[in-house]
Amino acid sequence: MDNNAAQNVAEGNASKPPKLLIKGGKVVNADKTENVDVLVEDGVITDIGYDLAAPPGTMVIMADGRYVIPGGIDPHTHLEFEFMGTKSVDDFYKGTRAAIAGGTTMVIDFAIALPGQSLLEVYDKYRSMADPKVCCDYGLHVGITWWSRTVSKEMELLCAQHGVNSFKLFMAYKNMFMVDDGELYEAFARCKELGAVAMVHAENGHVIEKNVHKLKQAGVTGPEGHEMSRPEEVEAEAVHRAAMIASQTGCPLYVVHVMSESAAKVIEERRNAGQTTLFGEALAAGLGTVAPDGKCSFEVAAAHIMSPPLRKTRSTPLALMKALASGALQTTGTDNCTFNKNQKALGKEDFTKIPNGLNGLEDRMSVIWDKGVNTDIIDPQKFVEITSTNVAKIFNLYPKKGCIEIGSEADIVIWNPDKSKKISATTHNHACDFNIFEGMVVRGVPETVIVKGKVCYQHGRLMDSKGHGSFVPCQVFPPHVYGRREGKYRPDAGDCGKAKDTQYCLNTLNFPE
């Protein structure tokens, strides 16, 4: 207890789960800001209003002068992801714990099936890894790296019975994840039929392969070769091609990790030209930093390697923030995919072997507040929109998540705009030994983080919340994306409860010929 957030429990039956009353804060939603109190009972917001009285047994949290915002939703994480010969070190426990410490109360991770692998099998594997460990709620996108009739069937099943409404396709990582334009077309067309959201990693994998070959012939083996092999136009071309294919199939498309101004421009232009179901995601990394200069050590350079690359151009973070402010881009994620120094060293002799990925989950909210709100590029409502509400809308979680409304789940952050923190790998809650924002001082931090009605973080202290989260099924045909019309296919998406029994699931649906 302290005088900033005086807490007390009103007289009452202490054995009941605590009700929470958040008093005196400025409640910020994407569309309004109000000085109101918020009452939480059984994990749900049950009342919002002026001077609410605390029912017996209520824990009162004073939020005077501070913002009360919907918990952040990170639409892009890779927790315990087996990738490039190793596995990301933030698992579903450490990763979601770090998320909470930063004001994020839900993540959507990627279950990526390898070529030839069953999508249901990899989905089941992710559920088994995540369910017992997650501290906050999570959802799953499913990654598609090959095309067949089975894949098409499994997509339907995932949508109908497993709470999946989004599929990621890769235009890069040749000979690993990459699909060709024909497969992209098939998958987008199938997403459209099912009412799912197609997602794309947009880089031209063929050109990257040629560039890598050329660089190696010229003797470039160090980490500087990474960005050289995949410059901005390699990203922008792929964004344009994916958007065209989405347009030809009539499918909504979400471009993950937009890392360059040119790629953001393509999205902006196509949206302005009428492709309004084209969405773009910026990352905390791209908004908060740039690629380190060529004089840095292998260790530092390798730690910053991800794809598409962090750009060297110093104006990129500002351009991406402005794209969010104008609505050219809609969401922010992290692509949190963390590796330790010894894992990054796998690419010491060959930059193509450096595991791609970096951190962001714990720092996203503060970095965006500091670089966006503190600089007056966005206001707190826009902050809420791009860190929470738009993700909830696109992936059909709204208004259960993404806002502070009566009936919404109580994923709430009390945000102190005046308090600063210095980001460091020595103090962060991630499992990794490096932080790309090392030494950055950010003003604007979460003070109290409430996950489904439970105070999970307060004044720098994380409560034990292992298993507090659960899988959140995402229904197909999100109205924000597909409009408020009756889709011809409206399964009652959810968890069939048979995640382990793939054959059971395959037998329960009749697939169209």
Q: Which is nearer to Zn ion, 81 or 415 (CB)?
A: 81
Q: Rule CB under 6 A: is residue 306 a binding residue for ligand URP?
A: yes
Residue 270's H or E segment, with its range, is helix 261-272
How far is 106 from 401, CA to CA, in rounded Å?
9
Partner touching 306 among ligand URP, Zn ion, none, CB below 5 to 8 Å by kind: ligand URP
Do the Cβ atoms of 260 and 232 come closer than 8 Å? Answer: yes
Phi first, then psi, for residue 317 (nearest 5°) are -55, -40
- C-beta of 259: minimal distance to Zn ion in Å? 10
> Pick from 335, 362, 385, 411: which binds ligand URP (CB under 6 A)?
335
Q: How far apart are CA 210 and CA 199, in angstroms?
A: 25
Dist CA 497 CA 505 (whole Å): 10
CB of 401 to ligand URP, least distance (A): 22
Give the E-state strand segments of 293-433 in sequence order: 331-333, 412-422
- Per DSSP, the three-state class of 229 is helix
Residue window 38-77: x/- pattern of binding to ligand URP, with contact defined by CB under 6 A: ----------------------------------------
The nearest distance, CB 51 to ligand URP, in angstroms, is 47
Instruction: Give the nearer residue to ligand URP in terms of CB position, either 78 or 428.
Output: 78
Contact between 377 and Zn ion per CB under 5 A: no
Nearer to Zn ion, 227 or 335 (CB): 335
Q: Which residue has the tokens 């951190």?
A: 359
Rounded (to 5) percent helix, strand, coil in the chain: 30, 25, 45
Give the bridge partners for 74, in sequence order.
107
- Does residue number 125 form part of the binding site for Zn ion (CB under 5 A)? no
CA distances to 193, 201, 202, 224, 360 from 170, rounded to whole Å, are 20, 5, 7, 23, 22
Instruction: Select the residue interacting with ligand URP from 29, 307, 390, 448 (CB under 6 A).
Output: 307
Identify whether the C-beta of residue 285 lies closer than 8 Å to the C-beta of residue 335.
yes
Q: Residue with CB nearest Zn ion?
A: 201
The interface with Zn ion within residues 488-507 (CB under 5 A) comprises 496, 498, 505
Name the residue nearer to ligand URP (CB basis): 357 or 478. Answer: 357
Closer residue to Zn ion (CB): 83 or 489: 83
Residue 154 interacts with Zn ion (CB under 5 A): yes or no: no
What element of type H or E holds 83?
strand 82-83
Residues 411-470 that bind ligand URP (CB under 6 A): none
Contact positions vs ligand URP (CB under 6 A): 78, 201, 257, 306-307, 335, 337, 356-357
Contact positions vs Zn ion (CB under 5 A): 201, 335, 496, 498, 505
